[in-house]
Amino acid sequence: MVADKKLQIAIYWAAACGGCDVAVLDTNEFILDVDAAADIRLWPIAADGKYKDIEAMQDGELDLSIFNGAVRNSENEHMARLLRQKSKLLMAFGSCAYMGGIPGLANLTSRDEILATAYVHNPSVEPGSR
């Protein structure tokens, strides 16, 4: 890498609570050092990036993509594969990206079972209900 060239970084939030993005922002003034050393090309929570902008990049154009959140649906899978293709390094950040976390538990059952558990067979605080 040329010394005066900024790192090209993407940060993506898939099926997650947002805690990892809060942790990145909670670095206080250090985030300014990151800004001085890197161009953040995608970070949906902080900037208005578009998928088409990432799709138009050359393969390997990003130095680092930080992926937080579980892969829960086809959009999450598409972005994980796309960022891997466009990045020299794709890093799983946080327990949801690494092990699926709470959102990933839904991958163990069907959509109908999830809805029935949450809305049909769930105890209620309403009088006369289950």
Q: What is the DSSP string of 55-104?
A: HTSPTT-EEEEEEESB--SHHHHHHHHHHHHHEEEEEE-SHHHHH-HHHH
Residue 92: Cβ-neighbour burial (10 angstroms; 0-12, 13-18, 19+): middle
HSE of 122, CA atoms in CB hemisphere, 13 A: 11
Q: How many domains does the chain have?
A: 1
Mean pLDDT of 56-74: 95
pLDDT band (50, 70, 90) for residue 86: very high
Q: Which pLDDT does position 23 carry in this prediction? A: 80
Q: What percent of the chain has pLDDT over 90?
A: 41
Does 96 map to a domain?
A: yes
Q: Is there a domain that residue 113 lies in?
A: no
Q: Is the pLDDT of residue 1 over 60?
A: no
Q: What does the mean pLDDT of the chain come to?
A: 87
Tell me the average pLDDT across 56-79.
95
Reported pTM: 0.76
Residue 114: inside a domain, yes or no? Answer: no
**Residue 3 vs residue 57, higher pLDDT:** 57
CATH of the domain at 40: 3.40.50.700
